[in-house]
Amino acid sequence: MKELHLICNAHLDPVWQWDWNEGATAALATFYSAVDIADEYDYIFCHNEALLYEYVEEYDPQLFKRIQDLVKKGKWHIMGGWYVQPDCNIPSGEGFVRQIESGLKYFKEKFGVRPTVAVNFDSFGHTQGLVQILDKCGYDGYIFCRPMVELLNLPKMVFNWIGFDGSKVKGARFEDLTIYCSELGNSVNAIKRKMQPWKDEDIAFALWGVGNHGGGASRKDLNDIKDFMAEQKGNGVAVYHSTPEEFFGKVAPEVDYQSSLQPCFIKCYSSIARLKRKYAELENKLLLTEKICAYADKEGVYKYGFGAFEDAQKNMSAIQFHDVLSGTCIIEGEKSSLRKADYAMELLDKEFLKAFMGLCYGYAKAEPGDYPLFVYNPHPYKQEQITIADFFLLDPIVSDTEGYEFSIVKDGKEVPFQIVKESSCINMDRSKRVAIRAELNPLSLTRFDVKVRVGKRKYLDKTTVTEFENANGVKAGFDKQSGSLNSFVVDGKEYINGNAFTPIVFDDNPDPWGWNMNKLGSNYRKATPKTTLRVIEKGDLLTTVESFYDTGKSDVRVAYTTYKDFDHIDVTVNVYWNDAGKGLKLEIPLSEMGRFIGQTSFGTQEYGFETEECSHRFVGVEKDGKVLSVFKDGTYGCSIEDGKLYITLLNGSVYCAHPVGDLPIIDEERFNRYVDLGRHEFTFRLQVCKEEELEKNATAFTQMPYALNFYPHGKGEKKELSPIKLSNENVTLTAFRKVDDDTYMVRLINNFGKGVDCDVSVFDNQLKLSFGKYEVKTLLYKDGNLKEHDSMLDL
């Protein structure tokens, strides 16, 4: 070793064993300490996370000004540049880009700097999809500390991290007992210990400084380090106060690593399940709202709400924080993070409704007595699917024999529909919910008109249905007694081995991280059926059956919806969970094995067996080009064990119950708050498709068309049918938004292991694109010109 770069930091969790407000006060105290010491000593203090700087700017402007001055002098280094250090398993690719964008934009505006080395010291594992994101966001280096060396072997201290698409950044894991921190007043001993793994390297770095509520450097530590530098100089080692950029600028790794940096703390894939579902809902809401608002803005019927989108995006980025989204914070952190998510949802809902109504206004008035329904399709291709819409009739009918009858018209022609159960439970014929099967216009609105007349009241045919077959080659069979799906045949091939989506209870421990675990839970046992299978919807378009299970102290409902004209089954699982210390999975026995794959951030990951894995919106088993797929929304933990696919719904953790040595994890003789007790709802879709169709189908499942009863008062002006057209539907639109007053951004992905071509039209401007495997492309439209943009950012 000839050079040792000392990187002083004060890793600070803005929320963990404390809530966000205490995180703000801790940031102020830490930054005060760092500023005072920087005035006295010639060293560099490095700190990341724009959120913490925002706290200082808002609550102590004078301190903020002192930090700005130190940055200009090179004594304070803006490190990493992200909004927070997020969970690096669960956010989507687009979610990561927004995390980076919110941070870099802030640091550029307030400090005029742009970091090029990303740091996520404390995040619990890192998806391989990050590599392409880092590369296309202008980063050339990445520092991380987890998974620790006992969990994952890496080829060298510094290596080339290779992404799904072949992109590359330099990666470095820092290995030590105290990882990114050092003990107050004992930093030199910590630094000497941290040097040991680098003894065979010419250039090394060491992270030091007291973390959480500690303030980073101390005067004693800096005086000791000055003596240490002189000592090491005599040993032929130059020791510097340095930055991540300076270190990475001097290393040129010669070995490659091409995989995710996992596993690490596997229970983080499922802890605090309601927060994970809320985060997924917010991500989908942001992306869908941006699409309709960009379209409406270009049509001139809405003014793009940059402020609302920026605020919503920052709140989304904040709750990505690794001790929040991972489910390892205290209950106050969960509650306040859910508030942040709901605040962001409200901001987005207002913008969505303004854009939606703006697009509707120009349509012709409805005929007297009609109920016009407008449906927004957020996808750039026509969709033939079931759309659910609600409307409220002017007059109620209270009768055993009379009820309303309907027809639904699109472009003057009747379309198939089915009346299904509305949310209201008032026993009169007034509030209605309808399932419509019709082709939806791409990335724009489709109008339907409901025509109403008084007729006979219709009652549900509750005759039990245990066998189902449609014209698309799909057969489903249900066990009448247990209520489970026991057969799923597509094109003559059986894909499951009976009793699919059966609730499975398992024994768990209170630790929400899952220290020293690679499999989640033990003593798996099936929940007990409470009722026989029963029909709750039956008609020309769909049939829904449901069953109930008892786990001991909890109830689970599983409902299956089959479709006359579609090749999938939708599954809804309602859980009323009161089994403290227990976890819950769904079990899907497989008829045959293949590659175990699932979606991650801008990529598709292949997994091993018998271990808990993290997948995003799809997981499945691929064989001979076909994938038995489970599409999901906000559920991440999964595994294949003994020929069965498991989807983890809930675990038995206690809020922030960190293992410490040989001590009990929790005090069993007092009340403890378990993270997942209460009411939950999960949604899934079972489908067999080609691997190249997975991304499109997942997006279709998680971003459903939106329908609203709206009364226009225009003259029927023609609207642009679709602002974006794609010749290859398996190239998926991940984002469409306005990024400044004159520029629209379009992001596309080919989430498949082979290259594809696609003709792209944006506002009738054409590009012919060739995508490599798993490649993401970003396009910018400005002043009538469409071009490919090298960066994922528009900063």
pLDDT digits (tens, 9 = 90+) for 644-700: 999 999 999 999 998 898 899 999 889 999 999 999 999 999 999 999 999 999 999
CB 645 within 8 A of CB 266: no
Q: What is the pLDDT, as a whole number, of residue 183?
A: 85
Render 278-308 in DSSP notation, one character per residue.
HHHHHHHHHHHHHHHHHHHHHHTSS---HHH
Whether omega before 115 lies within 30 degrees of 0, making that bond cis, reads no
Nearest residue to 613 (alpha-carbon basis) of 628, 629, 601, 596: 596
Q: How many residues does the chain have?
A: 795
Q: Give yes or no for residue 740 having a pLDDT over 80.
A: yes
Strand order, beta sheet including 522-526 = 522-526, 502-507, 582-589, 644-650, 637-641, 613-614
Integer-rounded Cα radius of gyration of the chain: 28
Q: Give yes or no for residue 186 having a pLDDT over 90.
A: no
Q: What is the pLDDT, as a whole number, of residue 522?
A: 93
Q: What is the pLDDT, as a whole number, of residue 213?
A: 74
Q: Work out the average pLDDT over 173-179.
A: 83
The single residue listed with the structure tokens 């987005």 is 348
CB 463 within 8 A of CB 409: no
The single residue listed with the structure tokens 């949802």 is 345
Q: Work out the average pLDDT over 539-564.
A: 96
CB 681 within 8 A of CB 574: yes
Q: Work out the average pLDDT over 1-5.
A: 88
Query: For 88, which DSSP code?
Result: B
Q: What is the pLDDT, as a whole number, of residue 655?
A: 98
Residue 39 confidence class, pLDDT cut points 50, 70, 90:
confident
CA 551 to chain CA mean position, Å: 29
Q: What is the pLDDT, as a whole number, of residue 627?
A: 98
Q: What is the pLDDT, as a whole number, of residue 37?
A: 93
Q: What is the pLDDT of residues 293-303, one digit of tens each?
A: 999 999 999 99
Q: Where are the alpha helices (DSSP H) in 608-706?
A: 694-702
Averaged confidence pLDDT in the chain: 95
Q: Give yes or no for residue 592 having a pLDDT over 80.
A: yes
Q: How many CB atoms lie within 10 A of CB 160?
A: 18
Q: Given phi > 0 = left and psi -120 to 50 = alpha, else beta, which region is 377?
A: beta
Residues sharing a CB contact under 8 Å with residue 710, sequence separation 6 or more, in sequence order: 356, 357, 360, 372, 373, 374
- Residue 523 phi, psi dihedral angles, 5° rounding: 55, 55
Q: What is the pLDDT, as a whole number, of residue 184?
A: 84
Q: How far apart are CA 473 and CA 271, in angstroms?
A: 38
Q: Work out the average pLDDT over 258-263.
A: 95
Q: Give yes or no for residue 727 having a pLDDT over 70.
A: yes
| Angle 743-104-76 from CA coordinates, rounded to 5° | 150
Q: Give yes or no for residue 795 having a pLDDT over 70.
A: no
Q: Give yes or no for residue 215 having a pLDDT over 80.
A: no
Q: What is the pLDDT, as a whole number, of residue 720?
A: 61
Q: What percent of the chain has pLDDT over 70?
A: 99
Q: What is the pLDDT, as a whole number, of residue 716?
A: 78
Q: How far apart are CA 428 and CA 676, in angstroms?
A: 36
Query: What pTM, to 2 d.p., does this model score?
Result: 0.97
Q: Give yes or no for residue 177 having a pLDDT over 80.
A: no
Q: What percent of the chain has pLDDT over 90?
A: 90
Q: What is the pLDDT of residues 379-419, one digit of tens each?
A: 999 988 899 999 999 999 999 999 999 999 999 999 999 99
Q: What is the pLDDT, as a whole number, of residue 473?
A: 86
Q: What is the pLDDT of residues 655-665, one digit of tens each?
A: 999 889 889 99
Q: How far apart are CA 318 and CA 340, in angstroms?
A: 8
Q: What is the pLDDT, as a whole number, of residue 718?
A: 62
Q: Give yes or no for residue 182 having a pLDDT over 80.
A: yes
Residue 214 confidence class, pLDDT cut points 50, 70, 90:
low
CB 67 within 8 A of CB 35: yes
Higher pLDDT, 85 or 185: 85
Nearest residue to 324 (alpha-carbon basis) of 151, 124, 130, 519: 124
Residue 1 confidence class, pLDDT cut points 50, 70, 90:
low
Q: How many CB atoms lie within 10 A of CB 155?
A: 12
Query: For 253, which DSSP code?
Result: -
Strand order, beta sheet including 485-490 = 467-469, 474-478, 485-490, 493-494
Q: Give yes or no for residue 719 having a pLDDT over 70.
A: no
| Angle 494-613-146 from CA coordinates, rounded to 5° | 165
Classify 37 as helix, strand or coil: helix
Which tokens sit at 627?
Answer: 């994938």
Nearest residue to 364 (alpha-carbon basis) of 710, 716, 717: 716
Which tokens sit at 633?
Answer: 């929304």
Q: Work out the average pLDDT over 104-126.
A: 97
